[in-house]
Amino acid sequence: MISIQGVHGILFDSGDTLMGPIGGEWLPGPAFRRMVAEQPDLALHWDRMPQAHESAYARLLENHFLQSEEEEVERYQGYFERLLFGLGVQAPTVRLARQIAAETIERPNVELFPDVFSALERFAGAGLKLGVISNGWPSLERQLRLLGVRDFFDVLVVSARVGSRKPDEAIFHFALKEMDLPPRAILLVDDALENVVVAERLGMQGVVLTRGAEPPAVDSTSLSSLAELEVLP
């Protein structure tokens, strides 16, 4: 058990902290793999996936400022179009890419980690102000509702709505304003060390949630499960 004092609010990352993809793959994801398998005329060069995904993901993050799920579908459509091209598909793929994008967003392939719900109940029951700060998309709020945890959070800061992604300081400043607590009274729980470093530089407290991975090589507070975290006022 790790005890952290002086905490009145907790900000959680979402992906790989509160939730993970069923099957272990965020992108391109199961909808992509299933729907391209249903297209017998497609001959994909799967060996090109790493390079194709890198190029398509760069496009996905261009102009990271979206306010609606419809805009999100359009952005993901562009990702899947470029991904298919990178995998060797020369024929027009706009319709297929649109269908995959809609399926990916409408039916999120995510699940809570086993320790999350009980931890959120414990922290909320202790009167802590809880929030999410995520490099995510407008559909994240719906995902949290589908997972049954949205009502735990007083604050939801999503990078696409703010137009800033962690570890940029701008999204942290936005979250601090929304939390309306002194920075030192806020704890960030995130799977990425670089995000915790920025939070601590801005006066917050931070902990790296490793979930079984190797802890950071630098001097930082880390834990493998939310069950190990105790916060004290």
Backbone phi, psi, residue 36, to 5°: -75, -30
Write the single-letter amino acid at 110: V
Each residue of 6-33: pLDDT tens digit? 999 999 999 999 999 999 999 999 999 9
State the amino acid at position 118 in one-letter form: S
pLDDT of residue 134: 98
Could you tell me the pTM of the whole model? Answer: 0.94
**194-219 pLDDT tens trace:** 999 999 999 999 999 999 777 776 66
Report the pLDDT value the prediction gives residue 218, as an integer from 0 to 100: 66
- Give the containing element (helix H, strand E) for 116: helix 116-125
Mean pLDDT of the chain, nearest integer: 94
210, with CB counted inside 10 A (0-12, 13-18, 19+), is middle
Render pLDDT for 120-176 as a digit per residue (tens, 0 to 9). Answer: 999 999 999 999 999 999 999 999 999 999 999 999 999 999 999 999 999 999 999
What does the domain layout of the chain look like in residue ranges?
A: 2-21+110-232, 29-106
Q: Model confidence over 107-120: pLDDT tens digits?
A: 889 999 999 999 99
CATH of domain 2-21+110-232: 3.40.50.1000
